Amino acid sequence: MGDHNAYAAILAGGSGTRMGNSETPKQFLELGGKPILIHTIEKFCIANCFDAVIVLCPEQWIRQTRDLLKKHCPLFAESIVVVAGGATRNDTVMSAISCIEDGYQVDEDTVIVTHDAVRPFVSQRIIQENVEMARKCGACDTVIPATDTIVESRDATAISAIPDRRNLYQGQTPQSFNLRKLKSLVESLTEEEKGILTDACKIFVLRGEEVALVRGDSSNMKITYPQDMRLAQALLEG
């Protein structure tokens, strides 16, 4: 894939229980004749800005993932590495970092772009801007403006605040970082913080580090529930 000093980490560690199908993780469900995960991986392979694409999935699905890649992505097989994800999102990100450090040349400028496996409609613009912004700022998050009014309730029974929607954004992925800075911040977390700070961008913010915004897209949806599959099918058919 070339010498870009950037790596993609596709986070496919979820079990998919919200899909109502506990047997098959949602990232392996078929969309338009191939698994969601394959659609997502292809987007990063054709971006031509990564030295490798690291796919992190449940250990028991590693062999099947490799078989799917041979079947659907033969041209990119050499640049895709499949490894086991961790018990938490942070653990999975750290597994990706270890894989990159063990197999490739890493320096102060190396960038890691992390993306949910179940967001198969990410655009090339979003991917490219994540790489550029992570290089420039050290960290970035893909977001879209909040369209609904967001209310806050501290006791789950009554509204405690209604923040100004103009200042609110909905987080998507990719989330992208300077690799060494991300590793250092995750390693600095206490056990208590690890339980609370499950979002890498939140770790940066709480440590006083700037996280730049990349403009996302409403089509960059996360496939979580059965009704999302119907919407994804419609998007795929265009």
d(CA 150, CA 112): 31
Give the tens place of pLDDT for each residue, 191-204. Answer: 899 888 889 999 99
C-alpha of 180 from chain center: 18
Which amino acid is present at 101? E
Q: Enter the tokens of residue 150.
A: 């967001």
C-alpha of 108 from chain center: 22
Query: Is residue 100 pLDDT above 80, yes or no?
Result: yes
Our CA dihedral for 192, 194, 195, 197, rounded to 10 degrees, sits at: 110
> Is the Cβ–Cβ distance between 54 and 94 less than 8 Å?
no
Give the tens place of pLDDT for each residue, 120-154. Answer: 999 999 999 999 999 999 999 999 999 999 999 99
Give the tens place of pLDDT for each residue, 6-54. Answer: 999 999 985 444 445 556 788 999 999 999 999 999 999 999 999 999 9
Query: Is residue 75 pLDDT above 80, yes or no?
Result: yes
Distance (Å) of CA 97 to CA 13, 41, 93, 107: 15, 18, 6, 12
Percent of the chain with pLDDT over 90: 82
Fold classified for 6-139+173-197+221-237: Spore Coat Polysaccharide Biosynthesis Protein SpsA; Chain A (3.90.550)
Residue 231: CB atoms within 10 Å: 13
Parse the chain into domains and list their residue ranges: 6-139+173-197+221-237
The residue among 199 and 214 whose pLDDT is bigger is 214
Residues paired with 56 in a beta bridge:
11, 83
**Backbone φ, ψ for residue 46 (5° rounding):** -85, -5
> Is the Cβ–Cβ distance between 65 and 55 less than 8 Å?
yes
Q: Enter the tokens of residue 201.
A: 């961008």
Q: Among all chains, which residue has been given the structure tokens 């655009």?
A: 123
Give the tens place of pLDDT for each residue, 160-173. Answer: 999 999 999 999 99
